[in-house]
Amino acid sequence: MKHARGADKSRIPPGPRGNLLLGSLRRVQHEPLELLRQGFHDHGDIVRFRFGMTLAYLLAHPDHIAHVLHHNHRNYNKRNIDYAMLRRLLGNGLLTSDGAFWHRQRRLMAPMFHRQRIAGFCALMVSSTQEMLERWDMVAVREEAFDVTAEMTRLTLAIVAKALFSADVSDDAEAIGAALTEVNRQLGEFSLLDMFWMVPTRRKRRFREAVAALDAVVGKIIDARRRAIHHNEDLLSMLLEAVDEETNETMTPRQVRDEVLTLLLAGHETTANALAWTWYLLALNPEAEQKLHDEISGVLGGRPPVATDVPRLSYTRMVIEESMRLYPPAWAISRNAIGEDEIGGYRVRRGTNMIICSFITHRHPAIWEAPERFDPERFSPERSAGRPSFAYLPFGGGPRICIGNGFAMTEAQLVLATVAQRYRLRLVPGHPVEPHPLITLRPRHGIQMTLHRTDEADEALRQNAMR
Ligand code: HEM
């Protein structure tokens, strides 16, 4: 592998030539992760790509990533092709907006994600998992295989809807799942025809239908709240009641829709994928799985976890961190360069698309020892010391770091602990498992698993029967 040291400032970085007309456009549509990985392998820490008319740099080194996301973040916004596509779905919500508007909305919503607020969601996170386990008990008795990704998606959707909007979306879970699969696929694998807005295609019709289905769910949540006489002081009430200090106006219905849909989608799909990959990795690594079970038994002694247990479940946290290192749910993010810049000795022209691929940086051989190995303890305080902060970025970084990161980590720890008290999950032999890099990193064919009761759960069952 080559590195970008000592490069000439006036030059642009090395990269694949690609097709004369389209550059690497076709490959990025069909195999984006392979394209980026090969670029890193062949050219090192900064790689130039051309996608049609767009110039893009892949940044793999933590120092260069820190420059874009943190030190010089004002020179980079989300006005690029990737976010333009996402904006078609999410409008101007927190994930896709920019500048002063984004800043105001972020300040408004931040209190809802404070540590104390999150602690208040722990009981809901555990009870929702227990409800899922009731269903799983039937599946276990019948010794059926099931797709753990679908189950985790249903669970995290129920949790985020209840926690932020006090809404029960269980009846809409399938419609949301189907719509999300459609938009995820379309935004992840965009077609050249998408660039010509006037050309009607079947893909576009299906996209519009999926957005309409999601809009209907959001509409239902908001209408129910407007009709309710009593309601919780949750994120939804905050959005509906917020008054702009300058204009003295409340948010428009369209803006409320954008924020609710953003949080509903960003708040469950990523966490679900993180959990699904974690079950997969635990099944492949019995030693780590045993350690996890030992910690959970030691800390909880068979009772359900509560908020104060979360900091004590440290190995559980490391397992999730290591899982998101190998399979980061938001596997790539990008930015548009507003003005000229210089990174790693190379010139960055205005309008360059900066690609940050955590999947690649999380396996950077100069930073991670044996990067392909699943080794949760690399996240222990001792072994983390001295690691550059932007070497690990499942939640992004800088001012645009994921607003839900504390929520997601707490939720993942509690779900993992609650499930692992009762079950070990085993992979169905022969079922192919491979990452599918769309907007999120989903398992391409799902992950088929079977359930096996833990000794602890069997013991509890015996004790109950004897009483
Ligand atoms: C394991 C779970 C999660 C992962 C891996 C994840 C990942 C990310 C990443 C990488 C970003 C930064 C995007 C960028 O800089 O371009 C982001 C932003 C965001 N995430 Fe998450 N996320 C997770 C869970 C959540 C949850 C639970 C919520 C809400 C309940 C949430 C809501 C958001 C929002 C609203 C933003 C935009 C923040 C802003 O720009 O101010 N995410 N997430």
Tens digit of pLDDT for each residue in 235-275?
999 999 988 888 888 899 999 999 999 999 999 999 999 99
Distance 83 CA to ligand 1 centre (A): 14
In the Cβ-directed half-sphere of 304, how many Cα atoms lie within 13 Å?
A: 14
Q: Whose CA is nearest to atom 37 of ligand 1?
A: 95
Distance 330 CA to ligand 1 centre (A): 8
Return the pLDDT at 362: 98
Return the pLDDT at 6: 47
Best residue for ligand 1 mutational test, from 402, 409, 413, 414 (most atoms within 8 Å of Cβ): 402
Query: Could you tell me what percentage of the chain is helix, strand and coil, using 3-state DSSP and rounding each to the nearest 5?
Result: 55, 10, 30
- Pocket of ligand 1 from Cβ distances under 6 Å: 94-95, 106, 160, 262-263, 266-267, 270-271, 274, 329-330, 333, 394-396, 400, 402-404, 407-408
Query: Which phi-psi region, left, alpha or beta, contains residue 143 (left: φ > 0; alpha: ψ -120 to 50)?
Result: left
Distance 101 CA to ligand 1 centre (A): 18
Return the pLDDT at 259: 97
Q: What is the pLDDT of residues 295-310, one digit of tens each?
A: 999 999 999 999 999 9
How far is residue 359 from each of residues 264, 306, 414, measured CA to CA in Å? 24, 32, 25
pLDDT over 60 at 1, yes or no: no
AA letter at 257: R
Distance 139 CA to ligand 1 centre (A): 32
Q: Whose CA is nearest to atom 27 of ligand 1?
A: 267
Percent of the chain with pLDDT over 90: 81
How far is residue 14 from each of residues 47, 67, 68, 210, 336, measured CA to CA in Å? 6, 20, 19, 40, 19
Best residue for ligand 1 mutational test, from 106, 270, 362 (most atoms within 8 Å of Cβ): 270
Distance 13 CA to ligand 1 centre (A): 30
Structure tokens at 313: 């479940």
Query: Which phi-psi region, left, alpha or beta, contains residue 357 (left: φ > 0; alpha: ψ -120 to 50)?
Result: beta
Q: What is the pLDDT of residues 172-187, one digit of tens each?
A: 999 999 999 888 878 7
Report whether 160 contacts 124 (CB < 8 A). Answer: no
- Find the distance separating the first CA and the last CA of the chain, reported in whole Å: 65
Determine the Cα–Cα distance for residues 222 and 237; give it in Å rounded to an integer: 9
Return the pLDDT at 198: 60
Distance 446 CA to ligand 1 centre (A): 22
Q: What is the pLDDT of residues 416-458, one digit of tens each?
A: 999 999 999 999 999 999 999 988 999 999 999 999 999 888 8
